[in-house]
Amino acid sequence: MGLLDSEPGSVLNVVSTALNDTVEFYRWTWSITDKRVENWPLMQSPLPTLCISTLYLLFVWLGPKWMKDREPFQMRLVLIIYNFGMVLLNLFIFRELFMGSYNAGYSYICQSVDYSDNVNEVRIAAALWWYFVSKGVEYLDTVFFILRKKNNQVSFLHVYHHCTMFTLWWIGIKWVAGGQAFFGAQLNSFIHVIMYSYYGLTAFGPWIQKYLWWKRYLTMLQLVQFHVTIGHTALSLYTDCPFPKWMHWALIAYAISFIFLFLNFYVRTYKEPKKAKTGKTAVNGISANGVSKSEKQLVIENGKKQKNGKAKGE
């Protein structure tokens, strides 16, 4: 007998039980949050983070329309200050996580969350909070692209990466501001020191860009980061580390999505243009559609014009 065939009272009991279970689960999840961070900025409720992310997505949608008939903003000085500011912020986060975890005797294989007020644990939690905030600040990457009318840079990968990192790390700070969470943030902040250094240098203009030949290696470095993250998380699962299992599996799935997206970006940016360039060279200088140009066009040989392999006049 299906639910629709049940007595009205039975249906109401099922619905009531489901609602009660949902409410109890909600209360339970909030009872196990990290009490150290509950009064920190943005951490009382997910609403501010969700509102900021929603405004970000609205700007991604409406910003290009607003800029359509406007001249792009010239923002060289702003970009230099912003990018090197992000270098300093990520360097600070990396240093705090490294020193805090070192002083606390953290294991890189398995580390549970210590919710105590130990000075090193609070230092790590604070560094992770700054890491979360930095992901919100990174929304400015997209804002600057749109204001400069570099809309080709605002790809699905770009928006997906920025929006999900800020939103999901709110969950991380709220429940697990320490333990295994330190590793991914420490690794990523180090990568971002290099990345924003590159962006800051490019903002100086063409005179320095010719020396920045290592752009493609940034993408390769990010791909290495995702593989290391998956390996580290899988090892944590293998050792049955006392850290939320669902977060482990969610992180693996999240990293895999980035691997596919970044690989697609790498191929389109660095592999396909090389193939197109090779093909163009073949058309212009070697062959076209498998037939050499000397067989299709007039050529000069020994002072005589030739056509179809015979000298004119022969």
Q: Residue 179: left (phi > 0), alpha (psi -120 to 50), or beta? A: left
CA angle 74, 80, 81 (to 5 degrees): 110
Do residues 129 and 40 touch, judged by C-beta distance below 8 A?
A: yes
Tell which residue, 164, 133, 141, has the closest CA to residue 63: 141
CA distance 31 to 125: 18
Write down the H helix ranges in 148-292.
Answer: 156-175, 181-202, 206-209, 215-238, 245-266, 272-281
CA distance 160 to 135: 12
Is 192 catalytic? The answer is no
CA distance 262 to 188: 15
CA distance 296 to 286: 12
Residues 6+ away with beta carbon under 8 Å from 145: 151, 153, 154, 158
CA distance 231 to 252: 9
Pairing outcome for strands 310-311 and 304-307: antiparallel
Which three-class secondary structure state does DSSP give residue 39?
A: coil
Of the candidates 158, 161, 162, 248, the residue annotated as catalytic is 161
In the structure encoding, which two tokens stand for residue 241, read together? 């580390």
Do residues 42 and 52 touch, judged by C-beta distance below 8 A?
A: no
CA distance 114 to 126: 13
Just list the catalytic residues.
161
